[in-house]
Amino acid sequence: MQSIHVRTKINGQAAEFLCEPRQSLLEVLRDVLRLTGTKEGCNDGNCGACTVEMDGRIVPACLVLGAEAEGADILTIEGIAEGSALHELQNAFLEGAALQCGVCTPGFIVASKALLDSNPDPTEEEIRFWLANNLCRCTGYDKIVRSVQAAAEKMQQEATS
Amino acid sequence: MHWIDYFRPATLEACLEAFAEHGASARALAGGTDLLVQMRAGRLANNVVVDVKAVPELNEIRYDPGNGLTLGAAVPCYRIYGDPTVRREYPALIDSVSMIGGTQIQGRASVGGNLCNASPSADAVPPLIALGATCRVASVAGEREIPVEDFCTAPGKNALGEREVLVSLNLPVPSPGSGACYLRFIPRNEMDIAVAGAGVSVRLANGRFDSGRVALAAVAATPLLVPEAGAALSGQPVGRAAIAAAAAAAKASARPISDMRGTAEYRSNLCEVLTRRALETAVERAGGTLG
């Protein structure tokens, strides 16, 4: 029964940790590294609250073992803002009231950022399908979808101005 | 979750040795979307997890115009639908990997894992059967090939021995004039489990069905190949009459149960509708017309 020493990169910084083989990346982020922005919802891959980006692809951190982070490049909600400057998605969620209890929000922001990184001008249908793995029990989704659209529009304006 | 040991072999040889050593107490980890959930629920007694994603043979997508597609068992869905060659040659596989789970699940879940999990409703399996795919299975004792339609043996059970690993799937080169499709019914738009599904392939020549294969999801204890449906197509003129006969054969072969997702009667009717619609799309993809 040995712990595993894992070397990884989290939000652009080299990181290392010890974990038990059975611990998920979600448990490691929250309980070992104290990066508690990533939330635990269902813990079985349905709700998307624990969404993180791993090597450029969004995944449910509850379905990744901490040991699998060896050599990976991980982005969590803590790495979305640049210092005190919020990401346009974060601004848009605040202005659009796209959250109430907030538990699902980090997952939605990380997932939405990955969408806009690969598809800067998504249709509403593309946004809804992309975010189908993220559940929100408060907002009814419309405000979230509209906020992603608003952020996309703003980011495109900034890119062309 | 109970204590486990974690191995990440870098070669197929080391991977097979791990399974030879640990046997039934070891499980392969690809995307983990079934495995980790089942382990947390206490449904598996394994105490060793072998992460197979560093094994090159389980991680490759390779298309060879002579031998077809070699799809490593651990390749996640997003890499499959992101591959232009697979999109062009195997649209029925793209149908299924684009509808499994949502974006995050598709970032992890593999076709090989979907097959090994052996759920009757597995979306990736009917198109594999329709396309005539085979499984490359290996252990320290050697290798064998298993047709996909023989791989699942009961709900949650597959043909792998304790020391065996599913290495890859081989999908034959699509022959000229062929087309395939997978459709499923769910009461939502996404993120759901098939009430029923139909994977089909056809080969057309000179205005006739040269051959056809139909496989169904969620209407039997395992994904179900329906030879009677293929036989209803073979040699018939391409058109709605042959498709209707194949769809009726699919309905007649279904042995569904009633559960919270639908009644047996409803599922049987779905088999007819889904088979018909999937065949219509497959004909279109094959370059045929229904008139």
CATH code given to domain B178-285: 3.30.390.50
Contact between A111 and B105 using a beta-carbon 8 Å cutoff: no
Report the alpha-carbon distance of residue B291 to residue B284 in Å, rounded: 11
> How many angstroms separate the CA atoms of B245 and B44, rounded?
43
Pairwise CA distance, residues B179 & B280, whole Å: 10
Q: How far is B10 from chain A (nearest CA, A)?
A: 13
Taking the CA of residue A3 and the nearest CA in chain B, the distance in Å comes to 9
Is B6 in Cβ contact with A58 (below 8 Å)?
no
Which one of A24, A60, A68 has the shortest CB-CB distance to B104? Answer: A60
Cβ–Cβ below 8 Å for A58 and B107: yes
Nearest to B78 by CA among A115, A68, A155: A115
User: Do the beta carbons of residue B73 and residue B166 sit within 8 Å?
Assistant: yes
Strands, sheet with B61-64, edge to edge from the N-terminal-most edge strand: B61-64, B68-72, B165-171, B134-139, B142-147
Query: What's the confidence (pLDDT) of residue A1?
Result: 66
Nearest neighbour of A133 by CB, restricted to B3, B51, B102: B102
Which chain A residues are closer than 8 Å to B37 by Cβ?
A: 44-45, 63
Nearest-CB residue to A51 (from B78, B101, B104): B104
Tell me what the mean pLDDT of segment A57-71 comes to: 98
Instruction: Tell me which of B26-30, B96-100, B105-109, B187-191 is least confident.
Output: B187-191
CB-count burial class (<10 Å; 0-12, 13-18, 19+) for B64 = exposed
Nearest to B4 among A22, A51, A63 (CB): A22
Round to whole Å and give the CA distance between B142 and B217. 31
User: Are A133 and B8 an interchain contact pair (Cβ–Cβ within 8 Å)?
Assistant: no
Q: For residue B190, how many C-alpha atoms fall within 13 Å in the half-sphere facing its CB?
A: 23
CB contact (8 A) between residue A129 and residue B37:
no
pLDDT tens sequence across B3-51: 899 999 999 999 999 999 998 899 999 999 999 999 999 999 889 999 9
The pLDDT assigned to B1 comes to 78
pLDDT of residue B24: 87
What is the location of CATH 3.30.390.50 in chain B? Answer: 178-285
Query: What is the C-alpha separation between B35 and A92, in angstroms, rounded?
Result: 37
A137: DSSP letter: S
In chain B, beta strands by DSSP E: 5-7, 26-29, 48-51, 61-64, 68-72, 134-139, 142-147, 152-154, 157-158, 165-171, 178-185, 196-205, 208-217, 224-225
- pLDDT category at A136 given cuts 50, 70, 90 is very high
Residue A2 pLDDT:
84
Cβ distance A63 to B108 less than 8 Å, yes or no, reads yes
Measured in angstroms, the CA of B182 and the nearest CA of chain A are apart by 19
From the list B2, B32, B101, which residue is nearest A64 (CB)?
A: B32
Does the distance separating the beta carbons of A130 and B103 come in below 8 Å?
A: yes
Contacts of B3 in chain A (CB under 8 A): 1, 20-22
Domains of chain A: 4-79 (3.10.20.30), 88-160 (1.10.150.120)
pLDDT, tens digit (0-9, with 9 covering 90-100), for A79-99: 999 999 999 999 999 999 999
Amino acid, res. B57: E
Instruction: Provide the 10 A C-beta neighbour count for residue A53.
Output: 23
What average pLDDT does range A108-113 have in this prediction? 98
Q: Which residue of A has its CA nearest to B33?
A: A63
Helix axes A142-160, A88-95, angle to 10 degrees: 140
Residues of A in contact with B108 (CB under 8 A): 59-60, 63-64
Is the pLDDT score of B272 beyond 90?
yes
Residue A133 pLDDT greater than 80, yes or no:
yes
Quick: pLDDT tens for B129-158: 999 999 999 999 999 999 999 999 999 999
Question: Domain B1-50 is in which class?
Answer: alpha beta
Of B63, B258, B220, which is closest to residue B126 (Cα–Cα)? B220
C-alpha triplet A146, A150, A152: angle, nearest 5°: 115
**How far is the alpha carbon of A13 from chain B, nearest alpha carbon, in Å?**
23
Task: Specify the residue for token string 């279904």.
Answer: B254
Contact B36 A57 (CB under 8 A): no
CB-count burial class (<10 Å; 0-12, 13-18, 19+) for B146: middle
∠ at Cα B74 (B174, A117), nearest 5°?
90
* pTM as predicted: 0.96
Instruction: Indicate which of A57, A70, A74, A148 best probes the interface with B, i.e. most B CBs within 10 Å of its own CB.
Output: A57
Q: Within chain B, which residue ranges are assigned CATH 3.30.43?
A: 1-50
pLDDT-derived band at A111, boundaries 50, 70, 90: very high
Interval B224-267: pLDDT, tens: 999 999 999 999 999 999 999 999 999 999 999 999 999 999 99
- CA B144 vs. chain centroid, Å, equals 19
For residues A18 and B266, give the distance between their C-alpha atoms in angstroms, rounded to a whole number.
Answer: 52
Collect all residues of chain B within an 8 Å Cβ-Cβ radius of residue A70: 8
Reduced to 3 states (helix: H, G, I; strand: E, B; else coil), residue A17 is strand
Please give the full DSSP string across A32-92, using - where no structure is assigned.
IS--TTSPPSSSSSSS-TTEEEETTEEEEGGGSBGGGGTT-EEE-GGGTSBTTB--HHHHH
* Alpha carbon distance B114, B64 (integer Å): 24
Average pLDDT over residues B168-192: 96
Contact call for A48 and B104, based on CB within 8 A: yes
B291 pLDDT exceeds 80? no
Distance CA(B263)–CA(B91), nearest Å, equals 30
Cβ-count burial of B98 within 10 angstroms (0-12 exposed, 13-18 middle, 19+ buried)? middle
Q: Which of B1, B53, B105 sits opposite A22 (nearest CB)?
A: B1
- Enter the ipTM: 0.96
Tell me if B230 sits within 8 A of B263, measured CB to CB: no
pLDDT score recorded for residue B23: 87
Tokens of B30: 């690809």
